Structure 1
Amino acid sequence: MTVRTRFAPSPTGYLHVGGARTALFSYLHARKHGGQFVLRIEDTDLERSTAESVNAILEGMTWLGLDYDEGPFYQTQRFDRYNAVIEELLEKGLAYRCDCPKERLDELRDSQMAQRLKPRYDGRCRQREVDPSEPHVIRFRNPTDGVIVINDLIRGRVPFSNTELDDLIIRRSDGSPTYNLTVVVDDADMGITHVIRGDDHLNNTPRQVNILRALGHEPPSYAHVPMILGDDGARLSKRHGAVSVIAYREAGFLPEALLNYLVRLGWSHGDEEIFSLQEMIELFDIADVNRAASSFNTEKLAWLNQHYIQHGDPKRIAQLLRPHMGRIGIDPSEGPDLTAVVEAQAARAKTLVELAEISAFCYRDFDDYDAAAAKKHLRLAAREGLERLRAAFELMAYEDWTPQGLHHVVEHVAEELGVNLGKVAQPLRVAIVGRAASPGIDVTLHLVGKDATLRRIAKALAYIDQRGA
């Protein structure tokens, strides 16, 4: 048997990180077993589905690198197929027309709720003849006895009594098919062998199994993934911060970091924390996913992101960094090589946004000094060292403006003044960067360039003079 999984989001909003994790688990299961991964867009909710949401889903999948083998398939393009199946169920007596008005259904529900009964349709139209020319819905004739057992790959054996399931609507009065019908037809037609989805769908599963068997199909294997919680124990939502895949991209996270974090939400392999996509494929087993819900920890994600920024290919990181530089008004082509900047700064940033911000000094002058750093280092005692450095730098040829040559100059000035290197380098760093933290002073000076270095030293000397006055 060839394993076939699917990811089937509804395009009513962004690609949620919970959906992304479900897609990842489905992708990994298919890849591990040499199978196929199918993308299906469940867009039958005509009022809420939008083209923008479809694009957001496709964009998110592409950014994460979860390449699908087939699709995307759109349910709105398969209405003829769904209607043919519904007619087949009607002809076999496995479905029936229902013209119960909304008022009756509301009264029935209220009565059942008042008696603390589970709200369900009472089957009034099961044996009635309903005029097909009048407004009506189509209901599936659910079995009235027996037990449906779901051997869930994560949760184990989950039984459902058919007496607890009502005759669900499979076609609305406007002629559109409902979710529980379309998903069954699609999974059967597309040969899906394993359905991996959120556990909020668990109660739909016995209904779908009954429809599948009514159509003569054996159901696929199911795995219902526990939900993701926020740090307060509630279901992860917008109020906890960013929850869409694209929002994490815009916040400066790398796709490999987000994938690595998502795979660890409910799954583990020993004490390992870092997994490449290939390692995930080799090691992941859906049966090892925890039954309990997992809490989203943004700090852990940021730690992983910093690891991937620091240890990733600097050229690739620089490519991903470019749009973030542009967002703060910097054209990275007008200044030092961005790859060299990444090599110097990667260990200092948790996100690409932060990396862009702390690297801005390489490309443009800053307006203000960090107050604490300036108070400590831009004092009268630092003036002579900065004067000597400026004089020495002015004499350097542009071709000699190398980290080695710059280090020699700073070291020589410190020796001339009879102080340790830090007494010279730290005021120089604040003068050049505006704060007390940067890469090594020789690398910092090299990235900033000769002209900007001289200009910023002059500004620092003026600041010291003004402070002294």
Structure 2
Amino acid sequence: MPVTVRFAPSPTGNIHIGNARTALFNWLFAMKNNGNFVQRFDDTDLARSRQEYADAILYDLHWLGIFQDATEYQSRRFDRYEDAVDRLKRDGLLYACYETPEELDLRRKVRRTRGLPPVYGREALQLTHAQISEYEADGRKPHWRFMLPNFRNDPMEPERTEVEWSDLVRGDETIDLASLSDPILIREDGTFLYTLPSVVDDIDMSITHVIRGDDHVTNTGVQIALFRALGAEPPAFGHHNLLTTATGEALSKRTGALSIASLRESGLEPMTIASLAVLTGTSENVVAASTMTELAKLFDIGAASKSAAKFDPEDLNALNRDMLRQMSFADARDRLSAFGILGDQAEPFWLAVRGNLDRLTDATTWWRIVRQGPLEPVNLSAEDADYVRAAFDALPPTPWNGDTFKIWVDGLKEKTGRKGKMLYEPLRLAITGLPSGPELADLLPLLGPAGMQARRP
């Protein structure tokens, strides 16, 4: 059976860089194993799910370089979930409960005072027909719980029952089912919670590996039991550490924090986001991988730490600068062309300025400076203005190349006695209008004699 993974967000908002980490872990795992990637939308919450969010999620994933082999919507599969419900009811593994949230909370508090774990005590199994009839006459609707296999003969006497698996990230994991409440699979209004549709889908879609955040570790013990109750062998599981801010703050779709859409709009490169999302919180150094193929070579699912993957959003800016510094002209050409950066000078211009860009769009500013001069009038002291005029008079003869600038400033140093900042800064200000930027040795051939004389103070 081919390796098949899935990314299954709820389309209730825009995905953020933490969600992208899970998507990328799945995508790269599939790449490395010649497998399939299923994009599944967990949209059983019909009130909050929106098609526009699903479309936006697909757009974000494609922009990052993730492309699905299949797209599935849980909202189109309710008949399959009903089939599973019928099976579980026939097998006596799904039972109706009538407690209100307030009653359940009170029971948890009572159990704590008795030194017992605050789990559901299966009181609903002891309801009489008369009590059930009374609840229903009062208008109560049942929610339905899956009976965990954590007892021998009497479900009212649970005992330690270990579910074990070898986690792709965390190694050997064990969950004691006796420490958990029977999970609610169906709400009072008849809608499904996450657990049942997810397991049914994983079975039907032949998912071989479930790779997700480590906040699902406990869920996995329950889901393994549910897989087996439905007559299926569980897939392999891997639980990676979650991406958080440097202060440990969790990311949320609701707040829009660090959404892929906002990061894209800020001008960050997709591979910048992908590189940081994948490599942060692993034993690998966080470097700027230029392609998914390169990132796949760095990716090792077992290299993720068990502690949270903390990062500073400023790391994205630093990594983006590294990304642009390494970007070839071939990779930048089409986007530069869209900005009007064309012609024979486009490539040497890119090679000259790429090391000084925070965003690729910053190239337009430097193109404007190279083609038209400083953005603002240059204010030099009278002494510096005299020095620059004399320097422009002493420009070497053409043709100019990468060595011209050194020849020029070596002569100026000998003639004027200036050195360091006094030698270079007035020239840079006159040429670019800015105190820092690309190497003047690279800009000089682009400007040529006419461009230089146009900057003469």
TM-score, normalization: structure 1? 0.78
1:112 CA displacement: 3.9
Q: Does 1:85 align with 2:84?
A: yes
- Structure 1 distance, partners of 2:90, 2:262, is 49
1:442 CA displacement: 6.6
Give, as a single letter, the amino acid of the residue that structure 1 aligns with 2:27.
Y
1:3 aligns with: 3
- Structure 1 distance, partners of 2:424, 2:404, is 10
1:238 CA displacement: 9.4
Kindly, what percent of the aligned residue pairs are identical? 33
2:381 aligns with: 379
Give, as a single letter, the amino acid of the residue that structure 2 aligns with 1:346.
R
Structure 2: gaps (5+ residues): 152-160
Q: Does 1:361 align with 2:369?
A: yes
Q: Does 1:157 align with 2:159?
A: no
> Which of 137, 140, 143 is the equivalent residue of 2:143?
137
1:30 CA displacement: 1.7
> 1:330-351, CA deviations, whole angstroms, 9 ceiling, x for partnerless residues?
x636999655432221112243
Q: Taking CA–CA contacts closer than 8 Å with sequence separation of 6 or more, which of the two structures ends up with the larger relative contact order?
A: 2
Query: 118-127 or 40-49, which moves further after superposition?
Result: 118-127
Question: Would the aligned equivalents of 2:9 and 2:40 in 1 still touch at CA under 8 Å?
Answer: yes
- Structure 2 distance, partners of 1:313, 1:252, is 18
Q: Does 1:347 align with 2:355?
A: yes
- Structure 2 distance, partners of 1:299, 1:241, is 17
Question: Would the aligned equivalents of 1:12 and 1:49 in 2 still touch at CA under 8 Å?
Answer: yes
- Structure 2 distance, partners of 1:235, 1:384, is 58
Structure 1: gaps (5+ residues): 324-330, 462-469
Aligned residues: 436
Question: Would the aligned equivalents of 2:355 and 2:438 in 1 still touch at CA under 8 Å?
Answer: no
1:148 CA displacement: 1.7
> Which of 303, 316, 319 is the equivalent residue of 1:288?
303
Query: Alpha carbons of 1:198 and 1:380: their partners in 2 closer, same or farther (altered >3 Å)?
Result: same
1:434 CA displacement: 1.4
Question: Would the aligned equivalents of 1:230 and 1:240 in 2 still touch at CA under 8 Å?
Answer: no
> 1:341-384, CA deviations, whole angstroms, 9 ceiling, x for partnerless residues?
322211122433555555553466656468xxx4xxx1223444
- Structure 2 distance, partners of 1:223, 1:120, is 26
Aligned residue for 1:125, secondary structure, equals helix
1:290 CA displacement: 2.3
- Structure 2 distance, partners of 1:41, 1:273, is 31
Query: 422-431 or 93-102, which moves further after superposition?
Result: 422-431
2:158 aligns with: none
1:184 CA displacement: 0.6
Give 1:372-411 correspondences, 5 Å limit. Answer: 374=379, 378-384=380-386, 403-404=400-401, 411=408
1:188 aligns with: 203
1:119 CA displacement: 3.4
Aligned residue for 1:195, secondary structure, equals strand
1:317 CA displacement: 2.6
Query: Alpha carbons of 1:455 and 1:334: their partners in 2 closer, same or farther (altered >3 Å)?
Result: farther
- Structure 1 distance, partners of 2:423, 2:400, is 16
Question: Would the aligned equivalents of 1:2 and 1:35 in 2 still touch at CA under 8 Å?
Answer: yes
1:196 CA displacement: 0.7
Give, as a single letter, the amino acid of the residue that structure 1 aligns with 2:269.
L
Q: Does 1:167 align with 2:189?
A: no
Query: Alpha carbons of 1:240 and 1:382: their partners in 2 closer, same or farther (altered >3 Å)?
Result: farther
Query: Alpha carbons of 1:24 and 1:367: their partners in 2 closer, same or farther (altered >3 Å)?
Result: closer
TM-score, normalization: structure 2? 0.80
1:167 CA displacement: 2.3
- Structure 1 distance, partners of 2:298, 2:383, is 60
